[in-house]
Amino acid sequence: MASPFIEIDPAFVEKTVLELAAFGAVGETGVSRTVYSPEWIGATDYYAGACAAAGLEVHRDAVGNVWGRLRGTTGEKSVASGSHIDSQTPGGRYDGALGAVAALVAVKALKEQFGQPKRTIEAVAFCEEESSRFPNANYWGSRAVTGRIAPQDSERVIAFSGETIATAMREVGLDPGRIPEARRDDISDFVELHIEQGPILEQAGLPVAIVDAITGIRHYRGVIKGVQNHAGAFPMDIRHDPLAGFAEIASGLINTAHRVGRPAVTTVGRVVVEPNFPGIIPAQVEFTIDARHPDPQARRHLYAMHEDLMQEVAKRRGLDIDWNVMIDHEPSPSDPAIVSTLQRVAGEQGVPFMTMASGAGHDSQQMAAIAKVAMIFVRSKDGRSHTPDEFSSVEDIVAGIRVLAAGLHALAY
Amino acid sequence: MASPFIEIDPAFVEKTVLELAAFGAVGETGVSRTVYSPEWIGATDYYAGACAAAGLEVHRDAVGNVWGRLRGTTGEKSVASGSHIDSQTPGGRYDGALGAVAALVAVKALKEQFGQPKRTIEAVAFCEEESSRFPNANYWGSRAVTGRIAPQDSERVIAFSGETIATAMREVGLDPGRIPEARRDDISDFVELHIEQGPILEQAGLPVAIVDAITGIRHYRGVIKGVQNHAGAFPMDIRHDPLAGFAEIASGLINTAHRVGRPAVTTVGRVVVEPNFPGIIPAQVEFTIDARHPDPQARRHLYAMHEDLMQEVAKRRGLDIDWNVMIDHEPSPSDPAIVSTLQRVAGEQGVPFMTMASGAGHDSQQMAAIAKVAMIFVRSKDGRSHTPDEFSSVEDIVAGIRVLAAGLHALAY
């Protein structure tokens, strides 16, 4: 059955995005809104109010996720959509927030244009995804929904400024002992709309993408040790210079990802040299590798090439190298049936689209533990995110929400 | 005329080195003694006392250099020897201090074994060379002796902890307004003994080197700018990753110095990445290059190759690069006649030696502005310096002092 045309009001979309962005506004277009902060309280209150105004049942769960429900006529599991309401410090108006707004707008439009669905549809604003206050929060909001927060986690998740997330929860009236109550086992489908955060749609001249997988991510922390010595008195040929080894390794890792080609990416983002003085051959170089591929087998091959290169260079140069894996997320494929549905309805809504993998992590990969998932990307200006410069046009956002709403309609009506 | 055999007492050498090292002692073998500190006052008092005990006239000049004079019979200009008495934080017992001790021991031995010389011989402990308290002190002690400290310099030289060197001088009873009085125009020859700080003598199996030049040193500070972006969402082929450019440049610079061969050296010692997060393609990489060659023409060629490489890589990768020169010391050749004299007397004293350039900077390159200079290096264990691990054996030190004393004898008697 072809999806009906769905009307989305651009003015309401723009108004809601801008009003939500006022909570934690930084300068003209920035937003700094960490979980459980006063700005976050303001934003969640605003979201709950907007859901209520749209005629949705509002529920705030045990970790502070806000749900707006449109009840269905059957007892079947819910179809849900949303994203996180926290931001980088500062980030922009769109990363996360746009997915929460899009879900609200889509459910409101479905209710107004098609009435009560068969299956319950829910819009959600997850409390936390960015790790911008608690570096090891690890998808606190959506992880609570999947029931994968361990009993001691609230004491182990520590803010950059030292407090535990348990303390932060208590300060906003939430009881960490009740986190398990946020678990849901009655959601069958989850569709997240998010800005692309990359330039692929812009370069393709398309407003929207259907996401068929979230890439696998591994972070290594490596340490190369050599022998610290005087930069003048030690001949080149007898040095054990870890910076020379690091430079060759970093070049090699990056070149490997280039050779493998899209969608492989490898980034060396953090480097710490010791002692870090101009006139001293360093004693050691600590560095990170962020390497991603959405295909499980290609990902393993990429990591094996990276590890072989590090071993080979260090051995040849007489340097000690050691590394550990700090983060290791398996690729998260989208549900093929939902992807097909979204591809179909996008065509029916007349929205030009492409299909791609997400290079960034998202709440959807957590939700995949309890539901079938897929995502919709909206074009990002210059591919920017995690900055006040991030921008998506209202036209592109409306196109994305029409695909989302049509997808929810197909799943729930 | 062949030099006479000169007796140097190993026990006195060892006792003097160890007693001086007690001022600012750190752990078993470390020394932390910055200019104008309480430890420095103790060390200069000790050195003045040792000079007096050896029967030398003691003079403390306007910046705190300590001179021990053995008057000559003629009015000719002095022959001087010495090095700096300050240290790294922590450094070891030998860097600098050994040259001050060696001068004292040599002059004492000459006085005892040969009586009054024709020309005045002076032992000196320079107040400052390491820049370990004031990063821009720039050879404060020997520079004062050459008259090259400008009137405003004492207010411009600022400590890591914020105070001016003028304040530090006043705190130890020195008047910065009198710095010009430290200037000397009556020194014709200066011979500095110093630890090698490198492994060349150790690998050659030799105790001593005659230094025929101090290398030219240039420090660049470079900044490579790219475009900061998300490490997952930006494909490799459209990145402008400054870390990738930096890695290729650092490898290339280091490989260039390898290809040029000894005595060229190039070191990338300091790297600062922004924003320095694992999951973000950096916005910029700041780095230093320390590149040295003792031959003026080869040095210019080395720097031209380095600059060409930086331009080529940045242009090819679409990155912005900029650099400035922070330090640029011309090579300082030793006086050929003194080098010949030292080579001759080393042979006559039966001390095996080689001739080499110094890869590190030394007070001698300042003294070259007012006198003919040369240096003697003593073997360093494992080539280590600027660390409590630095070590030279008493046997090697005695060999070095015998060459120094014989050289001073040849110049002054």
A284 touches B: beta carbon within 8 Å: no
Q: What is the pLDDT of residues A98-108, one digit of tens each?
A: 999 999 999 99
Strands A208-214 and A332-333: antiparallel
* A286-320 residue pLDDT tens: 999 999 999 999 999 999 999 999 999 999 999 99
Q: How close B304 gets to chain A, by Cα (Å)?
A: 19
**Residue B184 sits at the chain A interface (C-beta within 8 Å):** no
pLDDT score for B1:
63
Instruction: Write down the ipTM of this complex.
Output: 0.89
Q: Is A279 on the interface with B (CB under 8 A)?
A: yes
DSSP state of A188: E
Asked whether residue A352 carries a pLDDT value surpassing 70, the answer given is yes
The pLDDT, as a whole number, for residue A1 is 63
B94, B201, B229: which to substitute to probe chain A, counting the most A Cβ within 10 Å?
A: B229
Scanning B115-205, the segments in alpha helix (DSSP H) are 140-146, 153-156, 165-171, 200-204
Residue ranges of the alpha helices (H) in B261-392?
296-317, 336-348, 363-367
Q: What's residue B116's pLDDT?
A: 97
For B182-222, the pLDDT digits (tens) are: 999 999 999 999 999 999 999 999 999 999 999 999 999 99
Query: Closest partner residue to B232 among A276, A285, A292, by Cβ?
Result: A292
pLDDT score recorded for residue B111 = 98
Show which of residues 201-260 on chain B sit within 8 Å of chain A, judged by CB atoms.
203, 215, 217, 219, 221, 228-238, 241, 243-244, 246-248, 250-251, 254, 257-258
pTM for the full model?
Answer: 0.89
Report how far residue A194's alpha carbon sits from residue A213's, in angstroms, rounded to the nearest whole number.
14
A234 vs B198, B221, B277: nearest CB: B198
pLDDT of A107-156, one tens digit each? 999 999 999 999 999 999 999 999 999 989 999 999 999 999 998 999 99
A395: nearest Cα among A1, A4, A8, A5: A8
Cβ neighbours of B243 in A, within 8 Å: 250, 254, 267-269, 271
Q: What is the pLDDT of residue A3?
A: 84
Residue A372's pLDDT is 98
pLDDT per position as a tens digit, A27-36: 999 999 999 9
Give the residues of chain B that fall short of pLDDT 50. Answer: none
Distance from CA of A142 to the nearest CA of B (A): 20
pLDDT at B220: 96
**Highest CATH level, class, for B216-329:** alpha beta
Q: Which CATH class is domain B10-214+332-412?
A: alpha beta
Query: Which chain B residues touch A219 with a CB distance below 8 Å?
Result: 278-279
Q: Where are the domains of chain B?
A: 10-214+332-412, 216-329
Report whether pLDDT(A254) > 80.
yes
Q: CB under 8 Å, gap of 24 or more: what pairs does B171-177 form?
A: B171/B36, B172/B36, B172/B40, B172/B41, B172/B64, B174/B36, B174/B62, B174/B63, B174/B64, B175/B62
Q: Which of B239, B319, B235 is nearest to B284 (CA)?
A: B319
Residue A2: predicted pLDDT: 81
**Would you identify the CATH topology of the domain A10-214+331-412?**
Aminopeptidase (3.40.630)
Task: Extract the tokens encoding B291.
Answer: 């590149």
What's the mean pLDDT when you consider all of chain A?
Answer: 97
Neighbouring residues of B314: CB distance < 8 A, sequence distance ≥ 6: B224, B245, B249, B320, B321
CA-based nearest distance A1→chain B, Å: 34
Contacting B residues, span 379-398, partner chain A, CB-CB under 8 Å? 383-387
Question: Span A233-259, mean pLDDT?
Answer: 97
* Nearest chain B Cα distance for residue A312, angstroms: 16
Write the pLDDT tens digit of every residue in A168-225.
999 999 999 999 999 999 999 999 999 999 999 999 999 999 999 999 999 999 999 9
Task: State pLDDT tens for residues B218-255.
Answer: 999 999 999 999 999 999 999 999 999 999 999 999 99
Chain A nearest CA to B254, separation (Å): 7
The pLDDT of residue B2 is 81
